[in-house]
Amino acid sequence: MASVSINQVTKQFGAVSVIRGANLHVEDGELVVFVGPSGCGKSTLLRMIAGLEDISSGDIHIGDTMVNDIEPGDRGVAMVFQSYALYPHMSVQQNMSFGLRMNGNEKADTERRVQTAAKVLQLKPLLARLPKQLSGGQRQRVAIGRAIVREPQVFLFDEPLSNLDAELRVQMRVEIARLHKELQATMIYVTHDQTEAMTLADRIVVLRDGLIEQVGSPLELYHNPANAFVAGFIGSPRINFFTGVATEYAEGHQLVQLSGRGSAVAKVATTEALPSGTLIKVGVRPEHFEIGGACGFPIKVDVVEQLGSVSYLYADTTSEYPLIVARQDDGDHRSDELTISIRAGKALLFGADGNRLR
Ligand SMILES: Nc1ncnc2c1ncn2[C@@H]1O[C@H](COP(=O)(O)OP(=O)(O)OP(=O)(O)O)[C@@H](O)[C@H]1O
């Protein structure tokens, strides 16, 4: 296995800058997930590592080797795509061994590799089947098996689970996590699904418009987002945003008067006092509200999602961004009128430019 280093990498398609100076070091054996909205450039960055797209400037190293001018097949990477692209007339065994045979790999070694991959992926009973005799999840396992038999330095996954239904996606997610542990492989994984990113990643790379916004462990990004974009992208259900005005500062806490919420005040932990009157944005995760409280504001619950261990109460559902409040019980709160307040020290502060104020 090998590390991957991306240094000042850019990508232009004609006049359009799709990747605008990316820097990232993926450790040997690490599982890094690229996440971000559609069109932010995550697939392009992955394809540049694979060698399927040229690099406009900068360089990419796999291990100690600069791979900018190395052919995809010689980079020691194996890629798994969203469309599994199996050969329909070949058995599972043949699909997995085909690439190796074409490269003139010795028969006994090819067989050994296929058997090892089939064992890891629990495909042994299916080796003689044709792709049409497999479920979607099994087909994707074969596609992953085809990558494993190549014994690559780095695995690259481009939205490998997006063609599967929700239940299978969860199953395969667990399987990929197990595979990563078992193979101790370097893996780079692209998805637009933040839940997939949170559950799989050692570290998540959040991209927006061709720029890396933040790199960190899932919980670092959740608890300490660098800006409002990352805060809004990571976390499900999503964070709530309020606008407000800084008032007093006392004992490590900034008080913020929330706009349009009566006399409601958020008490936010920060290291520095803001000038009184500064316009700011306050981010509150659904679990960081409490019912009642002296400095709260009233809401009317429109919709309740009961998930068993937690209920999500939705208010203001006619607005673009409904308010989402988590509640740790399973009572039916539909059409409840409640006062909620923000737990002291739990909200996140952002400046007018969206950057985090700490
Ligand atoms: N061959 C190409 N020529 C011109 N523009 C391209 C080309 N390939 C990608 N783009 C553009 O580059 C941008 C990034 O595309 P990319 O596929 O990397 O995004 P993504 O983050 O993977 O999105 P998605 O989640 O929708 O797959 C998009 O605006 C896309 O339209």
pLDDT tens profile 55-99: 999 999 999 999 999 999 999 999 998 887 899 999 999 999 999
Q: Could you give the CA distance from residue 48 to residue 43 in angstroms, rounded to a whole number? A: 9
Q: Name the residue among 184, 185, 228, 187 with its Cα closest to residue 206.
A: 228
Atom 13 of ligand 1, residue of closest alpha carbon: 39
Q: Could you give the CA distance from residue 73 to residue 351 in angstroms, rounded to a whole number? A: 47
List, chain by chain if needed, residues with CB within 6 Å of any ligand 1 atom.
13, 18, 36, 38-44, 192
The answer to which of 15-19, 335-339, 345-349 has the lowest mean pLDDT is 335-339
Give residue 63 CA to ligand 1 midpoint distance, Å: 27
The Cα angle at residue 21 between residues 20 and 25, in degrees rounded to 5: 135
ipTM value > 0.90: yes
What are the angstrom distances between the C-alpha of 254 and each of 91, 279, 346? 64, 13, 12
Q: To the nearest whole number, what is the mean pLDDT of the chain? A: 92
Q: Would you say 134 and 84 are in contact if contact means Cβ atoms under 8 Å apart?
A: no
Residue type, 23: N
Confidence check: pLDDT of 147 > 70: yes
Q: Would you say 240 and 324 are in contact if contact means Cβ atoms under 8 Å apart?
A: yes
pLDDT given at position 202 = 97
Atom 31 of ligand 1, residue of closest alpha carbon: 39
Q: Is the peptide bond before 152 cis (omega within 30 degrees of 0)?
A: no
Pull the structure tokens for residue 20. 């605008």
Q: Which of 10, 11, 12, 13 to mutate to test the pocket of ligand 1 (most atoms within 8 A of CB)?
A: 13
Give residue 37 CA to ligand 1 midpoint distance, Å: 11
pTM equals 0.92
Give residue 39 CA to ligand 1 midpoint distance, Å: 5
pLDDT tens digit sequence for 13-47: 999 999 999 999 999 999 999 999 999 999 999 99
What are the residue ranges spanned by the domains of the chain?
4-233, 240-357
pLDDT given at position 158 = 94
Q: Could you give the CA distance from residue 347 to residue 338 in angstroms, rounded to a whole number? A: 20
Give residue 223 CA to ligand 1 midpoint distance, Å: 30
Pull the structure tokens for residue 71. 């052919």
pLDDT given at position 358 = 86
Q: Would you say 137 and 70 are in contact if contact means Cβ atoms under 8 Å apart?
A: no
Percent of the chain surpassing pLDDT 90: 73
Beta strands at 297-306 and 337-342: parallel, antiparallel or unpaired? antiparallel
Quick one: which atom of ligand 1 is closest to the CA of 45? 18
DSSP state at residue 36: -
First vs last C-alpha separation in the chain: 38
pLDDT given at position 308 = 83
CATH topology of domain 4-233: Rossmann fold (3.40.50)
Pull the structure tokens for residue 131. 């792709």
pLDDT given at position 244 = 95
Atom 30 of ligand 1, residue of closest alpha carbon: 39
Q: Which of 43, 192, 206, 207 to mutate to test the pocket of ligand 1 (most atoms within 8 A of CB)?
A: 43
Q: How confident is the model at residue 333 (pLDDT cuts 50, 70, 90)?
A: low
Q: Name the E strands within 14-143.
A: 16-26, 31-35, 57-62, 65-66, 77-80
DSSP state at residue 355: B
Q: Report the b/e string of 227-253 with b at 16+ CB within 10 A.
A: bbbbbbbbbeebbbbbebebeebeeeb
